[in-house]
A and B are shown apart, each in its own frame.
Chain A
Amino acid sequence: MSLDTALFTLALRLKRAVWRDRAHAAALARGARLADLQAHLTLVARVLSGAPLDIQEAEHAGGFAGDVLYLPRAMSFAEDPEANALAYLYRVAYTVTSRQLGCVLSAEQTHTVELTTMSTLLAVPSTLAALEAELPMTRELRQRFFPLVLCDRPPCLTLHTPAALLEAFTQVPLRP
């Protein structure tokens, strides 16, 4: 590698690192942290389910393992901390409702991406119907947040895998 190329590569990496840091700082500023909401979301999950659920931080994929609901450490796709806290609330409402219907895979075991996505896809219609019946205001939250969630997802049609296809199908009923 020539000196010019090396310098250019270094400069590019530095610039990207600065962008990443800035983006990360911005995400932190507008994001909501699970640690701040954990006690509150646990109470909400218990009220919604009537079960002694607990909420913990997910190391990998979120979901239920027994009575523990694993959620991401932080959420930052919405515009400010309040909105991201609402997104957490929606996620709790959706996941708890799905569990009430018996439509969740246990997070105790590792599942293939295809199985996880297929499970999500199959649960969408009944979960949305139950949310509409019991928690109708979640529709407003879904309409607000789903386009933002999609922004962070890779474009399905460019990914030639079964999981991508399943995800594309899953997104259809969830679209506002």
Chain B
Amino acid sequence: MSRPYYRPIHHEVEVFQHAYRNQLALMLKGPTGCGKSRFVEAMATDVGRPLLTVACHDDTSATDLLGRYLVEGGDTVWQDRPLTRAVREGAILYLDEITEAREDIVVVLHALTDHRRQIFLDRRNETLTAPPEFMLVISFNPGYQRGFKELKPSTRQRFVGLSFHYPAPPIEAEIVAHESGVDMAMARRLVTLATKIRHLQELGLAAAASTRLLIHAGQLMRAGMPPRAACHVGVIEPLTDDSETITALQDTAALIL
């Protein structure tokens, strides 16, 4: 499998490698669409381990991660879920948006993320010890959790932490150009627009213009859509439903693109 494109921003690759070698769990913090998931994909390829990703949501429970008994024909069969599979296979397990999940998964993670590196499957009365190749990576976006769904300190302190931000404009332009196929000049313009939007909290946007959105707009341009139209549907509409803000952002985009 070829390595997914990932452009290092600071020293995150080295941090991951050290954490992996030392069997430490890793916590990634950062806004949506800034490259956290891509980073984990690239790192899993680098260390040569399979990657299991779980997009956590309100209903994600410990059972969803560990496993369950299913009825197949006349038999009852145990089915491993991602966490158990990852521990058995020595894979990289990536729990994306962990703070969205139910709190019962925290209990499961505690024994896995300290010196024991174990999970206990109570329904099977089985304890699994993670092999050295196993690694747990979690991520969340501190920006829109707004304090009501935060990780407890006792959980946070079991992880090595890495903060992700949107890259500096020259690097972000490089990423947008590479991923979308637009030329560097157009990539720089897209980044200029995003930077201006990000600087202004008063627009009341739930999230900032992400690198992912810029890549979407670039891909639409690359496919032949006019730049302003691509920017409208690729960047502006996903950001807001407010018609005044949309018009203002369209005019700003029209000055840039």
Contacts and interface: CB of A to CB of B under 8 A. Distances in A.
Interface stretch (B78-86, B157-165, B216-224, B246-254): B246-254
A52 interface: yes
A39 interface: yes
B234 to A, nearest CB: 17
Interface string B81-117: 0000000000000000000000000000000000000
A40 B200 contact: no
Contacts of B200: 46-47, 50
Interface residues of A, number: 16
Interface residues of B, number: 19
A132 B116 CA distance: 60
Q: Which of B189, B249, B254, B255 has the most CB of A within 10 A?
A: B255
A137 B248 CA distance: 16
A150 B256 CA distance: 25
Interface string B188-213: 01001000110110110000000000
Contacts of B245: 43
A79 interface: no
Contact of B255 (A43, A46, A135): A135
Interface in B2-28: none
Contact of A40 (B199, B251, B257): B251
B126 interface: no
Interface string A40-59: 10011011101010000000
Nearest to A133: B192
Contacts of A138: 255
A162 to B, nearest CB: 34
A47 B256 CA distance: 12
B75 interface: no
B93 to A, nearest CB: 39
Contact of A137 (B196, B197, B202, B254): B254
Contacts of B59: none
Nearest to B193: A47
Nearest to B227: A137
Given A40-B244, A40-B247, A47 B196 contact: yes
A43 B4 CA distance: 38
Dominant SS among interface residues on chain A: helix
A47 B199 CA distance: 8
B248 A44 contact: yes
A134 interface: yes
B256 A137 contact: yes
Contact of A136 (B189, B203, B247): B189
Contacts of A136: 189, 256
A93 B248 CA distance: 12
A89 interface: yes
A89 B256 contact: no
Q: Which of A43, A47, A137 has the most CB of B within 10 A?
A: A47
A172 to B, nearest CB: 24
Contacts of A134: 192, 256
A89 B196 contact: no
30 contacts: A39-B244, A40-B244, A40-B247, A40-B251, A43-B244, A43-B245, A43-B248, A44-B248, A44-B251, A44-B252, A46-B200, A46-B202, A46-B203, A47-B196, A47-B197, A47-B200, A48-B196, A48-B255, A50-B196, A50-B200, A52-B202, A89-B251, A93-B255, A135-B255, A135-B256, A136-B189, A137-B254, A137-B255, A137-B256, A138-B255
Query: Which A-B residue pairs are the 7 nearest by beta carbons?
Result: A50-B199, A43-B248, A135-B255, A47-B252, A44-B248, A137-B255, A47-B196
Interface of B: 189, 192, 196-197, 199-200, 202-203, 244-245, 247-249, 251-252, 254-257
Given A40-B244, A46-B200, 13 more contacts: A40-B247, A40-B248, A43-B248, A44-B248, A44-B251, A47-B197, A47-B249, A48-B252, A50-B196, A50-B200, A93-B255, A134-B192, A137-B255
